[in-house]
Amino acid sequence: MHELTLLVATHNEGKAREYAHLLGDLPVKIVWLKQVGVKEVAPETGATLVENALLKARFYAAHTNLLTWADDSGLEVDALSGRPGVHSAHYGGEGLTDRERCTLLLRELEGIPMERRTACFRCVVAIARPTGEAWTAEGVVEGVILTAPRGDRGFGYDPIFWAPSLNATLAELPLEVKNRISHRALAAAQARRIVERLLDDSLQP
Ligand code: ITT
């Protein structure tokens, strides 16, 4: 039987949990970085999410010789002109916990009224072949940065990101509910079509 293998390449456990749920029904064999023994971390030297997503997907595809799915994502806060954005994972410097980064962001936003605390999460998924051929898809979810964290699910900035459509922070939602509305879910819905197309092509005689 023909089976396509897809490497979902992330070192972030929070992302991995979400993708396991989002992509579980794709008719491919999903493998993870740990499973294929990749410890290297792709360089993220791009200036944009698209550049970094492509860098990651191409790096891990070349490394493993597998079709690879990677994402670069971040939180863009309007009152901070879009920061931390592409630098979300390293906001405040290395070695901080997710909670510490949230606290730092809340401190930066101190005194800013609710109506000016708008923000969005953006996710760019890149799919790359070992040859370097690649495609991208993007998803965005709009929200508001609260003044204190709420909830202990999810990861990253979820406890301070309130989603108006669900009247909850992303950290108060079960994974399958976050996966209905999130930036990652929206990008993944488009990107899975790319994988399905590649699958169709690979089945052609
Ligand atoms: P990989 O590159 O290995 O996938 P990473 O954590 O370094 O893991 P990114 O460079 O894409 O990934 O950084 C994205 C950061 O943006 C992430 O570490 C979080 O701080 C934040 N972020 C992205 N998506 C998020 C989400 O759904 N909920 C909360 N925070 C998120």
For the stretch 73-116, pLDDT in tens is 999 999 999 999 999 999 999 999 999 999 999 999 999 999 99
Q: Which domains does the chain have, with CATH numbers?
A: 4-200 (3.90.950.10)
pTM: 0.96
- Asked whether 175 lines ligand 1 (CB < 6 A), one says no
Q: Is residue 72 flagged as an active site residue? A: yes
State mean pLDDT over 36-43: 93
Side chain identity, residue 23: L
Query: Using 50, 70 and 90 to split pLDDT, how confident is the model at 1?
Result: very low
Ligand 1 pocket test: which of 8, 12, 86 has the largest number of ligand atoms within 8 Å of its C-beta? 12
- Asked whether 76 lines ligand 1 (CB < 6 A), one says no
Distances (CA, A) of 201 to 67, 132, 162: 14, 17, 41
Q: What percent of the chain is modeled with pLDDT above 70?
A: 98
> What's residue 203's pLDDT?
66
Neighbours of 39 (CB within 10 A): 7
Closest atom of ligand 1 to CA, residue 184? 27
**Average pLDDT of the residues of the chain:** 96
| Nearest protein Cα to ligand 1, atom 11 | 72
Neighbours of 138 (CB within 10 A): 18
> What's residue 204's pLDDT?
63
Closest atom of ligand 1 to CA, residue 42? 2
State mean pLDDT over 13-30: 96
- Asked whether 169 lines ligand 1 (CB < 6 A), one says no
Residues 168/171/175/178 CA torsion (nearest 10 deg): 50
Query: Using 50, 70 and 90 to split pLDDT, how confident is the model at 14?
Result: very high
Question: Is 52 within 8 Å of 72 (Cβ atoms)?
Answer: yes
Query: Using 50, 70 and 90 to split pLDDT, how confident is the model at 2?
Result: low
Side chain identity, residue 38: V
Neighbours of 125 (CB within 10 A): 30
User: Can you tell me whether residue 121 is helix, strand or coil?
Assistant: strand
Helices (H), the chain: 13-22, 49-64, 98-108, 175-181, 183-203
- Asked whether 155 lines ligand 1 (CB < 6 A), one says yes
Q: What percent of the chain is modeled with pLDDT above 90?
A: 94
Question: Is 70 within 8 Å of 10 (Cβ atoms)?
Answer: yes
Q: Tell me the C-alpha distance between 79 and 119, whole Å.
A: 8
Q: Is 65 left (phi over 0), alpha (psi -120 to 50) or beta?
A: left
